[in-house]
């Protein structure tokens, strides 16, 4: 998960460099550093950069921008970690792992308990251009958008300017609907189609994966999406691999790039967003959050299924012939999120009810 730290005037000039050296000790020596457009973040960035250099790290510095850019840069430059500073009533910090991955809970604990690297070394700082590769990637994923009409919205002005300018450059025209909503970070997206229906990020991601699979492409997808996409893969002859890391395509972990890839499929098919969704069938879904403080790994032994795959004790994937489910431990360690995808609404509800009962019964195992 993303790690957020609050930085304020109480942080001394020695505390932030020490924090930077802790990050080096936990993540590695090669780090991407970026801020938003708020001038309040600059002093904190300077102190963190100083700490990275004191610890002998290599700091790849990007000028101000939005969060998904720094994640993309970490992937592009094979960095050991990435840090993004932004201002929201105080200066906050997002930390990512190798290649821009979200931190696992274990990695967060390693950072919290890490011993700062010695401060006697001298590192290297490299000033990068405004990540032209990110723009080039958006162009590549979007392609020609000359027959696409859409509008965009985001609470992040810098991000919104980038998306609008790039879409218009690729040939898109502005129209009220469909409208794509980008989060402040740019990492997630939602949309409203021409008929007023609203789609959350997960549905947009499944739609894009389905379009890619229809092109007979072998695709790596999150376990949570595997059941929803299995029929598409079988009918198109495409390969389907499951991953705990969200998939290997850049648009699978980046809301901005996901939007451009969806616009590409709208352009290639000549279909509106509503028609693109209408041309594909997705399983019924159910989601619930329950109190749970037991072991997901042990819970798997008590639930009948065709396949059970666990990642540590924070995530459990279950598969049956008619349904797939993902159980995720919430960050507070006292709750469990149950997500079910099934061939129809009745099956989804029945499997969800069964899993809820199992979670409640074995809450303390």
- Spatial distance between the Cα atoms of 309 and 340, rounded to a whole number of angstroms: 15
Peptide bond just before 178 cis, omega within 30 deg: yes
Output the average pLDDT for the chain.
87
Q: How many CA atoms lie within 13 A of 22 on its CB side?
A: 16
pLDDT for residue 4: 61
DSSP per-residue string spanning 68-108: HHHHHHHHHTT-SEEEEEEESSSEEEEEE-GGGPBPPHHHH
What is the per-residue pLDDT for 9? 56
Task: State residue 240's pLDDT score.
Answer: 84
Query: Which two three-digit tokens encode residue 327?
Result: 């159980």
Indicate the range of 5-14, 168-177, 196-205 predicted with least confidence: 5-14
User: Is residue 203 a contact partner of residue 283, using CB atoms and an 8 Å limit?
Assistant: no
Task: Scan for tokens 């990512």, then name that residue.
Answer: 96
CB atoms within 10 A of CB 171: 14
**What residues form DSSP beta bridges with 329?**
336
- For every residue of 259-311, DSSP letters joined together read HHHHHHHHHHHT--HHHHHHTS---EEEEEEEE--S-HHHHHTTS--SEEEEE
Higher-pLDDT residue of 364, 4: 364
What share of the chain in percent tops pLDDT 90?
44
Do the Cβ atoms of 27 and 108 come closer than 8 Å?
Answer: no
**In the numeric block, which tokens belong to residue 221?**
């997808």
Tally of helices (H runs) and strands (E runs) in the chain: 12, 17
Pick the CATH number of 3-129 from 3.40.50.880, 3.40.50.1370, 3.30.460.10, 3.40.120.10: 3.40.120.10
pLDDT of residue 13: 55
Confidence grade of residue 1 (pLDDT, cut at 50, 70, 90): very low
Between 35 and 63, residue with greater pLDDT: 35
Local confidence band at 98 (pLDDT 50, 70, 90 cut-offs): very high
**Cα 240 from Cα 238, distance rounded (Å):** 7
| 11 pLDDT above the threshold of 70 | no
Question: Rounded to two decimals, what is the model's pTM?
Answer: 0.84
Q: CA 61 from chain center: how many Å?
A: 22
Q: What is the pLDDT of residue 45?
A: 92
Judged by phi (left if over 0) then psi (alpha if -120 to 50, else beta), residue 143 lies in: left
* Strand duo 323-329 + 335-342: pairing: antiparallel
- Structure-token match 């967060």, residue found: 108
Task: Give pairs for 131-137: CB < 8 Å, separation 24+.
Answer: 131/62, 131/65, 131/69, 131/72, 131/73, 131/76, 133/72, 133/73, 133/76, 134/69, 134/72, 134/73, 134/76, 135/162, 135/166, 137/72, 137/250, 137/257
Side-chain-side CA neighbours of residue 307 (13 Å): 14
Element (H, E) at 180: strand 173-182
Q: What are the extents of the domains in the chain?
A: 3-129, 133-218+247-278, 284-361
Check: CB of residue 85 under 8 Å from CB of residue 93: yes
pLDDT score of 312 more than 50:
yes
> Which pLDDT tens digit goes with each residue over 184-221?
999 999 999 999 988 988 889 999 999 999 877 789 88
Least confident range from 137-146, 160-169, 331-340: namely 331-340
Rg over alpha carbons for the chain, rounded to the nearest Å, is 22
Q: Nearest to residue 247, comparing CAs of 204, 209, 201, 202?
A: 209
**Predicted confidence (pLDDT) per residue in 234-284, tens digit:** 888 888 887 777 788 999 999 999 999 999 999 999 999 999 998 887 777
Encoded tokens for 151: 């509008």
> CA torsion sign, 182 to 223 to 234 to 217?
positive
Whether CATH 3.30.310.50 fits 284-361? yes
Residue with tokens 């949570």: 224
């Amino acid at each position: 998960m993303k790690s957020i730290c609050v930085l304020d005037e109480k942080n001394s000039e020695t505390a932030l460099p020490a924090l930077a050296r802790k990050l080096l000790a936990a993540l590695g020596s090669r780090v991407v550093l970026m801020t938003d457009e708020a001038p309040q973040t600059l002093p904190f960035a300077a102190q963190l950069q100083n700490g990275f250099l004191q610890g002998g790290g290599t700091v790849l510095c990007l000028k101000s921008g939005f969060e998904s850019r720094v994640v993309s840069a970490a992937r592009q430059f094979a960095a050991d970690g990435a840090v993004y500073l932004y201002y929201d009533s105080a200066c906050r910090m997002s930390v990512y792992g190798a290649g821009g991955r979200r931190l696992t809970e274990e990695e967060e604990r390693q950072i919290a308990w890490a011993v700062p690297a010695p401060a006697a070394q001298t590192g290297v700082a490299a000033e990068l251009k405004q990540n032209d590769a990110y723009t080039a990637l958006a162009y590549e994923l979007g392609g020609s958008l000359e027959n696409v009409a859409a509008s965009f919205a985001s609470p992040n002005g810098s991000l919104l300017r980038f998306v609008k300018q790039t879409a218009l450059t690729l040939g898109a025209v502005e129209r009220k609907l469909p409208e794509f909503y980008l989060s402040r970070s740019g990492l997630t997206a939602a949309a409203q189609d021409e008929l007023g229906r609203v789609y959350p990020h997960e549905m947009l991601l499944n739609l894009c994966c389905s379009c890619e699979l229809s092109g007979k492409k072998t695709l790596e997808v999150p376990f949570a999406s595997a059941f929803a996409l299995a029929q598409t893969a079988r009918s198109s002859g495409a390969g389907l691999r499951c991953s705990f890391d969200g998939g290997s395509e850049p648009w699978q972990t980046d809301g901005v790039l996901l939007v451009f890839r969806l616009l590409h499929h709208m352009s290639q098919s000549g279909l509106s967003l509503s028609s693109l969704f209408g041309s594909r069938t997705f399983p019924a879904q159910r989601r619930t959050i329950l109190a749970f403080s037991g072991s997901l790994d042990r819970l798997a032994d008590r639930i009948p299924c065709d396949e059970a795959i666990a990642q540590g004790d924070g995530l459990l994937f279950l598969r049956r012939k008619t349904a797939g489910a993902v159980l995720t431990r919430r960050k507070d360690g006292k709750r469990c999120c149950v997500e079910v995808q099934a061939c129809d609404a009745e099956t989804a509800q029945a499997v969800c009810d069964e899993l809820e009962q199992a979670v409640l019964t074995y809450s303390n195992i």
